[in-house]
Chain A
């Protein structure tokens, strides 16, 4: 068993979930990410099964998931839960898909208002994706995450999927990459961020979309910048399927592993690093 998996076993909470730190309260996102990292190689593992049970029990009557047990409102982490339960609990995952398809980010419909937003933020607010919470505008991370979850559930031709793919392309930063969803703010380009760029690229790749936008984003990911375990893990996860060790990312990620087997002492980052490594025995 690898040190990383040992860390995750030790960090699992009594309720079966994981937090963003050992002994921190269980959240849906880190629990789902750990399941994605562990599940393929250990579907019958007791750790995995306890986490699946916790996740399934947290599903709300409307089919969605909140962020944690004390959250009484379904939101963006529904997509993580759907993705993590796709093969082990397809019924629950399908109810989650139904919730996702019924919820969309705010769309600006007034032409005058839309023109105003276009002028200031350089986005088309008539196109939407998925929001963090119902009643909010759409943002990159929940939109890309939902597209990946829908792809895992083989929902590929839905009109919401088509629109969300257009949304991602509309919100790309002109110089490459994505941030939370504001490519431009009044007088300047907003800087891209790694996790949003990786998620958007993974979603567009999953739906076979390649364009100048994806090309520029790929180029941006190659640039040197102040990198952290979190950012290197996301970059390496994106590059993992190519089987090419881009920028020596696997070694960089390995070097960032802590003595306790974790990355940043964080089960979520550790799960992303494990997904990036693509193998469990380090």
Chain B
């Protein structure tokens, strides 16, 4: 016997083993990424949204209508009629409708709120042509506990009185606790105004404007106003803490009204330091549709922004709650190019 050991031959790694190792590494890395992206929301939720998002790619295109309206003095009723027809709006005959404009605040010379002329024409159209059963204007202001002064300053008080329309302050309405379907935010239930919960349809009528938290403020961001301030505070910051992108997805997904429509007041928009202190832009557009994401994505394009770079729109699209891809948005009416402007972005906070 000899002590001299036979030289060990180092094991040779076959190509197959290498491939297996590579595959295993890929699986582990993918698992780590999925774990990282889902640790807040859970794997099941993440896959549900991701799959729905992928499925939405094969869904029919969403229709969005554009109307060129240079001024609030133009025939808004005719413009809304055209938009309503082109957008293939839901049938609201006999429906109880909540119209939710953005009445965020009155700041002199800053067009930060939905112009009441647009809402006036919309309500006339809903009453006379669509023949809804009832319509109310509803808002839950963010910065003020009492809306009355702002209703006067913005011209809404005149509209309400002259057209005999009820105003529902969504901050003080009776409340209903609704289940949240999505799982995006850390809440599983949300208090919501009874008027919204019991309505047949909600029409979100935002202002076309920039926003320093969310880049743009459209029909989805406008939904923040339906959340009651007496529970979530003024300015409803508790919900911002949930994560704005996640909470907006949650609101859109859990909206209890069976029918919905968005009509964006882009006749005069607001650029720069939105949502309050920006400057006006003559955009000359009304934008409408039933798919809030498609409407907001089109609004972003009209402002000169790429909606895919706007975090909450991108997240909502990924989760499959509407269409963002221009190839999946069927535009009707005025041409997008003719209405496009270059909005100054909001300063980032």
Contact = CB atoms under 8 A, between A and B. Distances in A.
Interface in B246-283: 273, 276-277
A184 B232 CA distance: 22
A136 B238 CA distance: 5
B237 A136 contact: yes
In the A-B complex, the 5 residue pairs with the smallest Cβ-Cβ separation, listed nearest first, are A132-B233, A228-B148, A20-B172, A230-B146, A188-B277
Interface of A: 19-21, 24-25, 27, 29, 67-68, 70-71, 75-76, 120, 131-133, 135-137, 139, 141-142, 179-180, 182, 185-188, 190-191, 193-195, 225-231, 264
Given A186-B212, A230-B146, 12 more contacts: A19-B174, A21-B172, A67-B230, A70-B175, A131-B233, A136-B241, A179-B143, A180-B144, A185-B212, A191-B105, A228-B149, A231-B149
A49 B219 CA distance: 46
A71 B231 CA distance: 9
Given A186-B212, A193-B143, A67 B231 contact: yes
B233 A136 contact: yes
Contact of B146 (A139, A142, A195): A195
A136 B144 CA distance: 18
6 contacts: A20-B172, A136-B241, A187-B277, A193-B143, A193-B144, A228-B148
A185 B148 contact: no
B241 A135 contact: yes
A139 B238 CA distance: 11
B187 to A, nearest CB: 11
B238 A185 contact: no
Contact of B153 (A141, A187, A194, A226): A226
Contacts of A68: 175
Contacts of A227: 149
Interface in B137-196: 143-146, 148-149, 152-153, 169, 172-175, 177, 191
B21 interface: no
B107 interface: yes
A178 B241 CA distance: 23
Given A186-B347, A191-B105, A133 B143 contact: no
B237 A137 contact: yes
Contacts of B1: none
B148 A29 contact: no
A67 B229 CA distance: 11
Given A70-B175, A141-B145, A230-B146, A186 B238 contact: no
Interface of B: 105, 107, 143-146, 148-149, 152-153, 169, 172-175, 177, 191, 212, 230-235, 237-238, 241, 273, 276-277, 347, 349
B30 to A, nearest CB: 33
Contacts, number: 94
A225 B143 contact: no
B233 to A, nearest CB: 3
Nearest to A194: B146
A188 B235 CA distance: 17
Given A132-B234, A132-B238, A186 B177 contact: no
B349 A230 contact: no
Contacts of A187: 273, 277, 347
Given A19-B174, A24-B174, A25-B175, A133 B232 contact: yes
A140 B349 CA distance: 22
Interface hub of B146, B173, B238, B241 (most chain A Cβ within 10 A): B146
A179 B141 CA distance: 13
A79 to B, nearest CB: 13
B146 A231 contact: yes
A226 B152 contact: yes
A27 B105 CA distance: 26
Nearest to A187: B273
Contacts of B105: 191
A228 B277 contact: no
B26 to A, nearest CB: 37
A223 to B, nearest CB: 13
A151 B234 CA distance: 24
Contacts of A67: 230-231
Contacts of B177: 70
A1 B296 CA distance: 55
A8 B347 CA distance: 48
A76 B212 CA distance: 28
Contacts of B238: 132-133, 135-136
Contacts of B153: 226
Contacts of A182: 143, 235
B144 A76 contact: no
Nearest to B272: A187
A120 B237 CA distance: 17
Nearest to B149: A226
